[in-house]
Amino acid sequence: MNGYDPQMAQRVWQRVQSRTTQEDPTQQLQPRIASALTDAALCRLLLPRFQAEQKQLLQHVVREKTAHAHCLQGIFRSITGSAPDVRISLPSPGTTEGTLQRCLGNTLSCIEYYRQWESPAGFSPVFSRLAEEETSLARILLQLLGQIQ
């Protein structure tokens, strides 16, 4: 008996392949930072289009999106030891409804990303909290969408 187990070798090889093909979790941080900053900037541009109560809600979205971007920048720096290279190009805000829809789509995408985060550096509780906060922002964006005349 030579000690070679083809089934064991296959299982080991599959584990090795899965580790090499898995995406580095920090690769998605920079696009998420850019998305949060873009959403904050777009919502800031929409502020003049809303009345007092809705404007306060939108200002809250701007503050939270900016805070999330800063948090993600801190996480990126903690993991990699360097600052993220994030550049945003601000699109024209377009219609109020279209811009809110865009921000809502980004927010829903962030919620899913944050819930799936597997942190090698122990940031999972932070991402759980970010997912909760993004859920609250999604509710606000939906409320604003429902109030458009």
- pLDDT tens digits, residue range 87-98? 998 888 889 999
Domain count, the chain: 1
Evaluate whether residue 136 is within a structural domain: yes
Q: pLDDT of 127-147, one tens digit each?
A: 999 999 999 999 999 999 999
Mean local confidence (pLDDT), 7-28: 59
Q: Note the pLDDT tens digit of each residue in 26-68.
A: 788 999 999 999 999 999 999 999 999 999 999 999 999 999 9
- Would you say residue 20 lies in a domain? no
Do the Cβ atoms of 99 and 42 come closer than 8 Å? yes
Residue 44: inside a domain, yes or no?
yes
Three-point CA angle 106, 149, 53, nearest 5°? 70
Could you tell me the pTM of the whole model? 0.80
| Residue 134 resides in a domain | yes
pLDDT in tens, 98-122: 999 999 999 999 999 998 876 666 8
Contacts of 37 (CB under 8 A, 6+ apart): 65, 66, 69, 86, 88
**Structural domain boundaries, residue 62:** 27-147
- 101 in a domain, yes or no? yes
In a domain, 8, yes or no: no
CATH of the domain at 126: 1.20.1260.10
Which one is predicted more confidently, 114 or 12? Answer: 114
Average pLDDT along the chain: 86
Whole-angstrom distance, CA of residue 112 vs CA of residue 57: 23
pLDDT value, residue 15: 57
Crossing angle of helices 124-147/96-116, nearest 10°? 160
| Residues 120, 142: Cα–Cα separation, whole Å | 34
Q: Compute the distance between CA of residue 124 and CA of residue 40 in angstroms, rounded to an integer.
A: 24
